[in-house]
Structure 1
Amino acid sequence: MKGKAKKISRRKFVVRSLLGGGGILLGTVILARNPLRRALYGVLENPKNLTYLGDISDPMLWFEIRPELPIILHSPKVEMGQGTFTGMVQLAADELEVRPDQILIKHAESASGNIDGLSTGGSTSIAGFWQPLRELSATLREMLRTEAGKKLGVATADIRLEEGVASAGLKSLPYGQIAQGVTEWEIPETPALKEIKDYKFIGKPVPRVDLEAKVMGEPIFGMDAVLPGMLYGAVVQPDKVGVVFGGAEITQAEKMPGVVKVVVEDDFVGVVANSYTEAEAAKAAIKVDWKREREWTTADIKSAIQIGKGDKMLIQKEGRPGGILEDAKDDSSLITATYSSPLGAHAQLEPNGAVASVEGGKATVILSTQVVKLTRKEVADRLGFKEEDVNIVPTYLGGGFGRRLHTPNAVHAAVLSRAVGKPVKCFLNRKEEFQKDTFRPPTQHQLSAKLSEAGSIEAIEHQFASSDVMFNAALLPGFLSTIVGSDIGTMRGGRIQYSGIPNYRAISWHCELPFATSWWRSLGLLANTFAIESFMDELAVAAGKDPIAFHLDHIADNEEGKRLKNVITAVRDLAAFRDSARDGRAMGFACSTDAGTPVAMVAEVRMEGKEIRVDKAWMAIDPGFAVNPDQVRAQCEGCIIMGISAAMYEEMRVEDSELKPIIYGPYRMAQMKHSPKEIEVEIINGTGKPGAVGEPPLGPVGAAIANAVFRLTGQRLREMPLARG
């Protein structure tokens, strides 16, 4: 697409250097380790500032205009269930002058060349597409207008476009006929975009484009994929943590019924058989030598994640909090509290796996993945192929939440397919999915504060310890944790958002674990907000003040602060918040700002025996601008339910080096009976530009519930899962 050269900000430069240029990264770190860390942290705190990193030079890379409608939009982002496809269709339809039902959106295969430069995640899809997708659509519109003028024999300025038809007077042509026979399109300068007030679909509650397929159970997920002549694969997975593959005895497995081949690689052993059942049976007959150094327990894991251990990083500082808090120890005015959260699984419905076909130096892999480009590279590297000879075909995700950023399953399926010369389908079973998960890391938090005589916060500090979130993932390899230091992902939500406090600081401690912990929806936000917002509530009680008024008193009147105040007052009014128990129920409040999106929540709880029940939830969110208000509400509702599950029930344990539980049920999650009877969401369009929605609403859920329980029972819950307390 023609246009003026665009400047690149330092923020974007840092990220692109990190992801694409190891040499630049190493040099930068050597010169300025802490500035790089803080720049990266700023990106994670405000990913809305990241523009789309793929190719936006040619609309025809994105759109396919067929003889008949609908137009096909090939999306380089994947649909994980958040409604991204629906929002993309809305962005395109308004500028392209078609109805949403005249666009069919599909996942772009890597062979198409329309490849996402980063991944799908971080709540960046709609925010990142806001400008480029509208520009692409508007440019294609003008390309069609120009061709229509040529075919109709009229001036381009006289062409009117509406619902996929170009017309001038009594002459008209549908888009499909305009495009017929055009082999070389003239790409104009990017036209001016419409005003928001002139949009018909953007900002409106358009129905989801994938609703019918999901309701009718159409085969749209990775696990549904089939290829002609397909065989079935199974890879032996360790059931212990901290082990390394040391070889395998395969004699018995090779003799099992239906076995086509047993494949032994340097790092894994797998079976290919005629059926899934036969592959699993043969896998069970393989004896693997797993090498390990020591036994691990939950107590060992908890001991490893401690403030004072690992790599320390000061991520935020204002004033002189250290000196004030140290002096407060001497006069006994120091208020402290410790919080923690456990290991958590992704526990998504669809297990990881892939269908691969490797033949004649080419590979096709069909799977649920958030990282199409990276998956292609991993498969190509393992097979020794050029990247262009590997086609990754992404599908709808049966749950993502960061779990699909790891795709060794694609490599396994490809290696097994090459070994037998036929397509192979290879998926983890449920036990393996739990044990081979890349978990939400456990955390520990220590908060300290001093109140003034007037009851305001004079100084506050948040120290927190966690394992990897960003690092040790395929997206960002583990060696970066050594170079950069503290894992930036654990810091999301970890800073003090109350800049009206004169003295504050936040300190991160990066600790090591013997197994993978990584991206989990919202990264460190849920645990960090649980700790900070619970402590803010404790301080409000100590000061003898209403918690919402106490929060408002400590928020600065800058742009960020005003937006946060707006959602706080909105949810206060929506819930008619009260700071005392009544009729066996009590309310709790919490708020957070994540990825530039402020969110506030009130939860109303009651006790059913010893069980906590969240009866009602109210939430206010300022996503900047809601492209689809219904979808924003749905994301808030989903985050509230997921937050209730994660904060109240979910926990993985380690017993004799084995991760447990291994199935649903024992891995306790929120059920329908645990869902609030009512959820109300108020949306505030605060900036006129869409920001993050998919993850920010998770932030305040745990703290809002815990604060409500305190008002109801007098018990302060400082450890997740809350139901255990």
Structure 2
Amino acid sequence: MSTPKPKKKFSRRKFIVRSTVGVGVAIGATYFTRPLWRRSIAGFVNSAELPYNGSTDEPRLWFEVTADNEVILNSPKVEMGQGTFTGLAQIAADELEVDIQQIKVIHAPTASGNIDGTSTGGSTSISSLWQPLRELAATMREMLKIEASKQLGTDAAALTVKNGVVAHNGQTLTYGEIVKNVTEWEIPETPPLKDVSTYKFVGKPVPRVDLKDKVIGAPMFGMDASLPDMLYGAVVRSERIGATFVGADTSSAEKMPGVVKVVKEPDFVGVVATSQMAAEQAKQAIKAEWATERNWQSEDIEAMIKVGQGDPVTIQKTGRAKRILDNEEEVITAEFTSPIGAHAQMEPNGAVAHVENDNATIIMSTQVVNLTRKEVADRLGLAPEDVNIIPTYLGGGFGRRLHTPNAVQAAVLSKAVGKPVKCFFNRREEFQNDTFRPPTHHVLRGVLDKQGKIKAIEHNLSSGDVMFGSPMFPGIAEPVLGADVGAWRGGMIQYEAIPNFRTVSWRVKLPFATSWWRSLGLLANTFAIESFMDELALKAGKDPVQFRLEHIQEDEAGHRLREVIKAAADKAGWKDEVVNGRAMGFAASTDARTPCAQVAEVSIENGEIKVHKVTCAIDPGIAVNPDQVRAQCEGSIIMGQSAAMYERMFVKDGQLLPTIYGPYRMALMRDAPKEIDVVILENADAPGAVGEPPLGPIGAAIANAVFRLTGERLRSLPLTIA
């Protein structure tokens, strides 16, 4: 038996109100000149995290107690494989006073009312819900105790709770028994939270709550979704960059076996058929007409992305770096590049849609539940509350599902035939219609003083859009911010003891879609900066680890960065020399306030780079589940290694290539390090980001090791030996 929804009597629960970029903009616009307040906003954004944007007033939107004493947690965040559901279960279990086995975490459909107004991304699922989820769980516990006190005829303060059982003087009631006859709930003030040191599950290596379903292959992903009497859809998509749909001859497709209907819309044409095969075959028979402006090549894109070709915005400035660098004689200069990258996640995008009367149900893998609901509602002319988005587990997200307009196409096809329709990208379409990691170009300049310390440093970075152009952000953000926050993520100089430093972001509008990719600009920006720091250290005749420590500011962020650098070096047994054909490379970065340092142990075998071991030190604050922190570090390192050593998209004759795995080379099991050693520090009083920060240092760490082996400074990703 499920718990009835509460009729709210009162709510005096207090939650932390976090500052937003909008507030920063308003203050800056009022009191500062534009360049200064832009830098102020950039500094704020660089150290801020995306807060949870949803209901924190009604615990019953989050928790449902069943008759068998199970607690169902309706998560507004989606599970992409990082173990978010397990961490949320741990947090809730400790404040609810239930065993972890009693918690079941499910994706909250939008019909439940528990909707995150932003997204699942930015490595903030655990950190952003840490405070509100604890308060909600504690309040839910007190709500149950209040009802139990009425049933047991005693004061709620006299009750004890353990494993979902409320007791007093030998009398007991399970949570499941308490909720049976409750029709109206009283929501008290948020009670004091437990001290984290008393938690039984937070901080412990609890097994994954979704492990069994994944092992037995339970239907849990978007591609597994189905509805009774379901048909299959396919949408015609162009293979060329910048193509605009003009029209289509569908006469042949309409006559093919299994075709139920060919649907023509102003912006696309699709097929609905009785099988996926029939839909795909009919799609191939449609003669679509597309308008294109230019036959793009890789050379065109490379020319566009050069520093100096876009719109510059200074996002970081201390001292007089530019003036010093422009007038010094011995200036060290280096350029670095990174290519177009695909998400290449295992599960292609798609959805199952059922539009019936004035209601729509969409089952799909998406990171933007609320945005998808709005887009479907707008296209169908429905109220948002009449569209129910049912999220599933994601077969890989990495930012690819931060915009899922394919839900709109599936909904339009379903409405046209009056039945449920399943419509997915094929693998070729997934590659060609990706929202790619943008290519980048970096120019760094530095000068040393007589003591071998950095006197001035400057980072100019050029990139295609990441945040700008995304439906997640309004267009007004572009003229206000000037520089794309996602593109320069990780691009600021983190060594703030340097007296003069400056970072300039150059925005370039590319002819194909570029957007969110795991860690955004962190991988490319850290590759450039940390490779350059290695160069400066060698020029100064200093150990690269000690050189970095000398340039770290004496503040909280600096302390945490210093500690991970020392921990990684100590754990790896850092040596700045070649030993038995192997060398170590070092790099560090800070992302979303989580510092991370890595040592890569590398050799050259048969003319190729071989990574044998990576030592990683990370400080995410409270590690809710240490095993999951280690697992995310391992996953980020391997994904970062794959991007740094192998992955690259090309543009040829107006097409983005390759379009299948294999030609799009990625790290295989044989390429992964045989050992990844993770050291977890906890120098903050709350959980921080984990999913993306460990991806930052790996490219530079590998490149720096290769330099020690070959004397060749690799300045372009993917890393290859000449």
TM-score between both structures, scaled by the size of structure 2: 0.96
Q: CA deviation at 1:256?
A: 1.0
Q: CA deviation at 1:575?
A: 0.3
Asked if the contact 1:317/1:505 (under 8 Å) is kept, the reply is yes
1:164-179 superposed matches below 5 A: 164-179=164-179
Q: Which amino acid aligns with 1:2?
A: S
Looking at structure 1, the residues matched to 165 and 629 of structure 2 have their Cα atoms a distance apart, in angstroms, of 31
Match of 2:463? 466
Looking at structure 2, the residues matched to 304 and 8 of structure 1 have their Cα atoms a distance apart, in angstroms, of 42
User: Measured at CA, do residues 358 and 642 of structure 1 come closer, stay the same or move farther in structure 2, by a change above 3 Å?
Assistant: same
Looking at structure 2, the residues matched to 406 and 686 of structure 1 have their Cα atoms a distance apart, in angstroms, of 35
Which residue, out of 512, 515, 518, partners 2:509? 512
Match of 2:592? 595
Unaligned runs of 5+ in 2: 1-9
Looking at structure 2, the residues matched to 35 and 220 of structure 1 have their Cα atoms a distance apart, in angstroms, of 49
Match of 1:485? 482
Match of 2:126? 126
User: Measured at CA, do residues 291 and 122 of structure 1 come closer, stay the same or move farther in structure 2, by a change above 3 Å?
Assistant: same
Asked if the contact 1:380/1:387 (under 8 Å) is kept, the reply is yes
User: Measured at CA, do residues 186 and 480 of structure 1 come closer, stay the same or move farther in structure 2, by a change above 3 Å?
Assistant: same
Looking at structure 2, the residues matched to 461 and 45 of structure 1 have their Cα atoms a distance apart, in angstroms, of 17
Looking at structure 1, the residues matched to 552 and 662 of structure 2 have their Cα atoms a distance apart, in angstroms, of 42
User: Measured at CA, do residues 645 and 207 of structure 1 come closer, stay the same or move farther in structure 2, by a change above 3 Å?
Assistant: same
Looking at structure 2, the residues matched to 156 and 442 of structure 1 have their Cα atoms a distance apart, in angstroms, of 60
Match of 1:11? 20
Match of 2:84? 84
Looking at structure 2, the residues matched to 105 and 7 of structure 1 have their Cα atoms a distance apart, in angstroms, of 25
Q: CA deviation at 1:10?
A: 4.1
Match of 1:202? 202
Match of 1:635? 632
Residue 183 of structure 1 aligns to a residue whose secondary structure is coil
Deviations 1:229-259 (A, max 9, x none): 1000000011000111111111111111111
Q: CA deviation at 1:31?
A: 9.3
Match of 1:296? 296
Looking at structure 2, the residues matched to 413 and 35 of structure 1 have their Cα atoms a distance apart, in angstroms, of 46
Q: Which amino acid aligns with 1:721?
A: P
Q: CA deviation at 1:183?
A: 1.3
Give the count of matched residue pairs: 713
Q: CA deviation at 1:712?
A: 1.0
Residue 588 of structure 1 aligns to a residue whose secondary structure is strand
Asked if the contact 2:42/2:316 (under 8 Å) is kept, the reply is no
Match of 1:220? 220
Looking at structure 1, the residues matched to 16 and 78 of structure 2 have their Cα atoms a distance apart, in angstroms, of 28
User: Measured at CA, do residues 7 and 105 of structure 1 come closer, stay the same or move farther in structure 2, by a change above 3 Å?
Assistant: closer
Aligned-pair identity in percent equals: 61
Match of 2:42? 41
* Residue 580 (structure 1) aligned with residue 577 (structure 2): yes
Residue 672 of structure 1 aligns to a residue whose secondary structure is coil
User: Measured at CA, do residues 320 and 34 of structure 1 come closer, stay the same or move farther in structure 2, by a change above 3 Å?
Assistant: closer
Asked if the contact 1:220/1:396 (under 8 Å) is kept, the reply is yes
Looking at structure 2, the residues matched to 600 and 5 of structure 1 have their Cα atoms a distance apart, in angstroms, of 37
Asked if the contact 1:139/1:189 (under 8 Å) is kept, the reply is yes
* Residue 650 (structure 1) aligned with residue 651 (structure 2): no
Match of 1:608? 605
Looking at structure 2, the residues matched to 81 and 44 of structure 1 have their Cα atoms a distance apart, in angstroms, of 26
User: Measured at CA, do residues 6 and 87 of structure 1 come closer, stay the same or move farther in structure 2, by a change above 3 Å?
Assistant: closer
Q: CA deviation at 1:507?
A: 0.2
Looking at structure 1, the residues matched to 166 and 472 of structure 2 have their Cα atoms a distance apart, in angstroms, of 44
Unaligned runs of 5+ in 1: 18-23
Q: CA deviation at 1:688?
A: 1.7
Residue 92 of structure 1 aligns to a residue whose secondary structure is helix
Residue 181 of structure 2 aligns to a residue whose secondary structure is coil
Q: CA deviation at 1:608?
A: 1.1
* Residue 547 (structure 1) aligned with residue 550 (structure 2): no
Q: CA deviation at 1:33?
A: 5.1
Q: Which amino acid aligns with 1:319?
A: G
Looking at structure 1, the residues matched to 268 and 225 of structure 2 have their Cα atoms a distance apart, in angstroms, of 24
Residue 489 of structure 1 aligns to a residue whose secondary structure is coil
Q: CA deviation at 1:310?
A: 1.8
Match of 2:190? 190
Deviations 1:192-215 (A, max 9, x none): 001111100011111111111111
User: Measured at CA, do residues 10 and 94 of structure 1 come closer, stay the same or move farther in structure 2, by a change above 3 Å?
Assistant: closer
Q: CA deviation at 1:36?
A: 6.1
Q: CA deviation at 1:625?
A: 1.1
Residue 167 of structure 2 aligns to a residue whose secondary structure is strand
Q: CA deviation at 1:275?
A: 0.4
Match of 2:349? 352
Which residue, out of 415, 422, 427, partners 1:418? 415
Q: CA deviation at 1:37?
A: 4.1
Looking at structure 1, the residues matched to 649 and 44 of structure 2 have their Cα atoms a distance apart, in angstroms, of 30
1:321-340 superposed matches below 5 A: 321-328=321-328, 331=329, 333-340=330-337
User: Measured at CA, do residues 403 and 36 of structure 1 come closer, stay the same or move farther in structure 2, by a change above 3 Å?
Assistant: farther
Q: CA deviation at 1:43?
A: 5.0
Q: CA deviation at 1:4?
A: 6.2
Asked if the contact 1:249/1:286 (under 8 Å) is kept, the reply is yes
Looking at structure 2, the residues matched to 597 and 663 of structure 1 have their Cα atoms a distance apart, in angstroms, of 34
Match of 2:359? 362
Residue 401 of structure 2 aligns to a residue whose secondary structure is helix
Match of 2:306? 306
Asked if the contact 1:44/1:489 (under 8 Å) is kept, the reply is no
Which residue, out of 448, 453, 472, partners 1:475? 472
1:97-112 superposed matches below 5 A: 97-112=97-112
Residue 490 of structure 1 aligns to a residue whose secondary structure is coil
Asked if the contact 1:11/1:43 (under 8 Å) is kept, the reply is no
* Residue 142 (structure 1) aligned with residue 142 (structure 2): yes
Q: CA deviation at 1:69?
A: 2.7
Q: Which amino acid aligns with 2:539?
A: A
Looking at structure 2, the residues matched to 287 and 35 of structure 1 have their Cα atoms a distance apart, in angstroms, of 54
Q: CA deviation at 1:276?
A: 0.3
Match of 1:558? 555
Q: Which amino acid aligns with 1:659?
A: L
Q: CA deviation at 1:11?
A: 3.3
